[in-house]
Structure 1
Amino acid sequence: MLDDIDRRILRLLQADPARGVPDVAGAMGLTVAKVTRRLDRLREDRIVQGSHVIIDWAALGYAVSVSLRITLDKTVSRAFDDFLAAARQVPEVIEIQTFLGRVDVRLSLIAKDLADYQGIYREQVLTLPHIADIEALMTIATVKSDENLPL
């Protein structure tokens, strides 16, 4: 599926997503047109799905990070759909994951401090529909956070 040139392009872009096509082409000894064609194909195949900015939430004053493991009331037919639609509306929720097993959903949320978290939890999280059980895990340290693949 991927050849060595594709892997080299992806390694360079993983290391620096803001790197321009001319810079990638120069680093690889290829023409801009060839790298552009390869990137277009990687995007069409949905291997490359854009680039994003990683924000240091703590630098913006969000010192608290909490992971909420939620079990939903599965006796309600639309529990997942209703819950997910409502959870998407909470601005401090930065990630939503669904699971198979005892825990149905994990929400990652950020807050400025513990008082801010308490307000978000009481006023927004606890009002989300169809929650049967909830467990909060406060992040103490992020040991590894890396989306790069070993190409």
Structure 2
Amino acid sequence: MLDDMDRRILRHYQHDPALGPAELAERAGVTAATCARRLERMQASGIIRGNRAVIDWRALGYEVEVSLRVTLDKTQARAFDEFMAAARDVSEVVELQSFLGRVDIRLSVIARDMGHYQQIYRQNILTLPHIADIEALMHVARIKSDEVLPL
């Protein structure tokens, strides 16, 4: 269970995980040793799962993002596992989510342009196993993308 001190540390850490231990401790109002010990404990317990770089796909030439909602053929016992394994191998699929309901899987796909997307769709997506239905939603704008928790 997290106490107020852990929450203060996490609140500052999630906004800027590149902060040095001394600066993070100062912002959280704790000593550097306490901050380091608590961060280490939260990492060991899985509360902090890691740090990552957030890369702007557009800066690298990816101008198109499409969400694909996929319904699988549920008459096949291994449909979900086989679909997920194959979808993980498509490098332009940057996110996979599973759902309960009519839609089973959502894939987020990036491409350089519409021609590139069409190539990915025909060669890599439509060849994935056990697809019963697929619906494409073209992203127009990202209104909010925030993984910061209200601590």
Structure 1 vs Structure 2 CA RMSD: 0.9
What is the TM-score with the length of structure 2 in the denominator? 0.96
Partner residue in 1 for 2:107: 107
Counterpart of 1:80 in structure 2: which amino acid?
Answer: F
Unpaired runs of 5+ residues, structure 2, are: none
**1:22 is paired with a residue of what secondary structure?**
helix
Unpaired runs of 5+ residues, structure 1, are: none
Kindly state the Cα deviation for residue 23 of structure 1 after the two structures are TM-superposed.
1.3
Identity of aligned residues (%): 62
Do structure 1's residue 35 and structure 2's residue 73 form an aligned pair? Answer: no
Q: For residues 51-90 of structure 1, what are the structure 2 equivalents within 5 Å? A: 51-90=51-90
Kindly state the Cα deviation for residue 4 of structure 1 after the two structures are TM-superposed.
1.5
String of CA shifts for 1:93-142, please: whole Å, max 9, x gaps.
00000110000000001000000000000000000000000000010001
Mapped partners of 1:106, 1:40: distance in 2: 34
Do structure 1's residue 127 and structure 2's residue 127 form an aligned pair? Answer: yes
Structure 1 runs (4+) deviating above 2 angstroms are: 26-31
**1:119 is paired with a residue of what secondary structure?**
helix
Kindly state the Cα deviation for residue 20 of structure 1 after the two structures are TM-superposed.
1.7
Counterpart of 1:84 in structure 2: which amino acid?
Answer: M
Which segment drifts farther, 9-18 or 127-136?
9-18
How many residue pairs match? The answer is: 151
Mapped partners of 1:135, 1:29: distance in 2: 50
Mapped partners of 2:28, 2:131: distance in 1: 52
String of CA shifts for 1:1-59, please: whole Å, max 9, x gaps.
22221111111111111112121112234322111110111112211111111111011
What is the TM-score with the length of structure 1 in the denominator? 0.96
Residues 12, 28 of structure 2: 8 Å contact kept: no
Mapped partners of 1:122, 1:2: distance in 2: 48
Mapped partners of 1:20, 1:139: distance in 2: 36
Mapped partners of 2:118, 2:80: distance in 1: 24
